[in-house]
Structure 1
Amino acid sequence: MEKKYSILLYYCYAKIEDYEAYREEHHLFCVENNLRGRIIISPEGLNGTVSGLKEDCEKYMAYVHSDARFADTEFKVEAHETMAFAKLHVRVKPEIVHSSLRHIDPRQKTGTYVEPQDFRKILEEQPEDTVILDVRSNYEHNVGRFKNALTLDIDNFRDFPEKVKELDHLKGKKVVTYCTGGIKCEKASAYLLEQGFDNVYQLHGGIIKYGIEAEGKDFEGKCYVFDNRITADVNHVNPSIVSKCFITGEPTDRMVNCANPECNAHIPMTEEAGWLMDGCCSDECRKNPARRPYDGTGYYQKNTNHYNPLKGVKREPAKID
């Protein structure tokens, strides 16, 4: 099947003083060019995942680059068969990724970039003085991670600073961080530097760029993504499965959201277990009266009836503390 659509993943740390006005302008541009996705605009920059026809995505990238503030924005572009989102959300938030590290400005301090091909060599050679550090959350690295990477037991990136206290023994080593698209590493690597780690690097463009430019070699499992796909294939050289079904323990890289909306846990689950449990992670969730009907996918799109992409173009200003 010809892939007529594109999925764009990007971020840009740049000062935005008129963030409310820019949010309205940005939202309207997306509507006029048939784009959907999730976009965050904040005083510190942009962060987004956007989907649309290839030609519409080209217009969007040109639009972002035409603004001097975002001229150096790097887009990770993946081809896709269909639109990857059902709706468009353009929101104002205090940060472009919730980090609890609002005092850090990656434009002033961040870890040194390692390009995908150089990162691939590090993975192949596995130097004793080098640590590959995954800064993502549990549900992300449980379904996929780099070979021999150090993972952290965190449910959200905002928990990262607390976990760094357990990494003091690594201060004499070269630490290379990675995440999905690079955005979390900008602040994570800067925070490591702030805490006395003096040899800190980050995978430029994250797992997605590594898959595009270095064939994804030695990335084990699949990459958790924040669109309708849930996970994406990255490794085109030596793919493997690292996650196990939450119910049966069998190897699987199929991810679902628990059918109980009050739980909504992100878990690996085989098709057989999915039907057996009606898409739920436990009998308790299965018995919840709010349980959503399971259709075999484990993905629950919010109701899109009467979807109006113009809704919210003009609204009450967000409060930024």
Structure 2
Amino acid sequence: MSTIATHPYRVLLYYCYTPIEDPQVFRDQHHLLCLELNLLGRIIISEEGLNGTISGLAADCEAYMAAVKADPRFASIDFKVETHAQHAFQKLHVRYKPEIVHSGLTHLNPNERTGKHLSPAEFKKLKDDPDVVLVDMRSNYEHSVGKFKNAITFDIEHFRDMPQKAPEVLAPYKDKKIITYCTGGIKCEKASAFLLEQGFEEVYQLHGGIIKYAIEEGGEDFEGKCYVFDNRVAVEVNRVNPTIRSKCHVCGTATERMVNCANPHCNLHTTICETCGEALDGACSEPCRDHPDKRPYDGTGYYAKHLNGYDPKSGFYQNSLEMARRLGQTPTLSE
């Protein structure tokens, strides 16, 4: 986790479960605010709340956080703030979706019932209790590169698969204290609510997730790196007793280097060391290396996604931004 004060950019990770009566209108207003502040990233808005990861210059991020918190609906939002040398994203996406994180558990409202929130300090004290079971609520590609020591993981490709896996995997631990965790805390809101619904009695969640624990408590006992949904791909978490958890998909040597296969028809997201990356020209196998549609490899293993016609600066958004500038106004959340 970078703490270098001279880094000019900030990366914000946040969410808030709160009712939004007209999310489509709010989406347009929020998009306009992000454009004005030169922010990049991914934001999801729905009737149930707000979920985002964005990057920008420090002053722009401060202005964004102040604008969001000024709205009474988001007054309690918890921003996880990291420093970075540059933008962590290439584009801006502000989109409406039915859920702010896809779980399929639309009947659960974390504001009504969810697991007890543990601060990073409380989590640190409780995680090694013999009566405690740590449960990782993330997908395979996330926990493969890093997870807490002794934590239980699910064999799932997407969070929406969790409700089918969790009851069976956790059945032997129903009399234990369950502590759920994820990257920033959002998945645990509904995951812990789901476990309570399934009859688990003592359910807790790491408030702010792995990222907040790293910032406030040094990430002790987190093995490997934390997968993140931006250009950084995976970040350092543990400053106390770090280890490498993952292995190269090709040769099996220890590596934390996450890439996508250069063959777009494969696009496997996995760990591949630099040596194998060079030998296979960014592919995960010889057949993928020899595929006629293989993308050019620049050494990073990162390939920008196609926008499928989505342009954040076209139509309504650009016209509204230009109009606001002509009038000498700064867009806000309440306009």
Residue matched to 1:170: 173
Residue matched to 2:39: 35
Residue matched to 1:159: 161
Residue matched to 1:318: none
Aligned residue type for 1:20 = Q
**Separation in 2, partners of 1:141, 1:103:** 27
**Separation in 2, partners of 1:246, 1:5:** 33
Residue matched to 1:319: none
Residue matched to 1:250: 253
Give the SS at the match of 1:211: helix
Residue matched to 1:92: 96
- The answer to whether structure 1 residue 145 and structure 2 residue 163 are counterparts is no
TM-score of the pair, normalised by structure 1:
0.93
- 8 Å CA contact 1:219–1:235 kept in 2: the answer is yes
Deviation at 1:303, TM superposition (A): 6.8
Give the SS at the match of 2:133: strand
- 8 Å CA contact 1:137–1:156 kept in 2: the answer is yes
Give the SS at the match of 2:141: helix
- 8 Å CA contact 1:182–1:203 kept in 2: the answer is yes
Deviation at 1:42, TM superposition (A): 0.6
Residue matched to 2:240: 237
Residue matched to 1:48: 52
- 8 Å CA contact 1:27–1:313 kept in 2: the answer is no
Comparing 157-166 with 132-141, which one deviates more in the overlay? 157-166
Deviation at 1:107, TM superposition (A): 0.6
TM-score of the pair, normalised by structure 2:
0.90
Unaligned runs of 5+ in 2: 319-335
Deviation at 1:66, TM superposition (A): 1.1
**Count of aligned positions:** 311
Residue matched to 1:69: 73
Deviation at 1:308, TM superposition (A): 6.0
Residue matched to 1:259: 262
What is the CA deviation profile of residues 164-197 of structure 1, one whole-angstrom value per residue up to 9, with x for unaligned ones?
Answer: 2312111100000000000000000000000000
Give the SS at the match of 2:50: strand
The partner residue of 1:301 within 304, 314, 318 is 304
- 8 Å CA contact 1:8–1:75 kept in 2: the answer is yes
What is the CA deviation profile of residues 129-155 of structure 1, one whole-angstrom value per residue up to 9, with x for unaligned ones?
Answer: 110000100000000000111111111
Identical columns (%): 61
Residue matched to 2:327: none
Residue matched to 1:311: 314
Aligned residue type for 1:84 = A
Deviation at 1:71, TM superposition (A): 1.1
Give the SS at the match of 2:12: strand
Aligned residue type for 1:153 = D
Deviation at 1:263, TM superposition (A): 2.2
Change (3 A) 1:147 1:312: farther
RMSD, aligned CA? 1.6
Deviation at 1:314, TM superposition (A): 5.1
Residue matched to 2:277: 274
What is the CA deviation profile of residues 58-101 of structure 1, one whole-angstrom value per residue up to 9, with x for unaligned ones?
Answer: 00001111111111111000010001111100000000001111
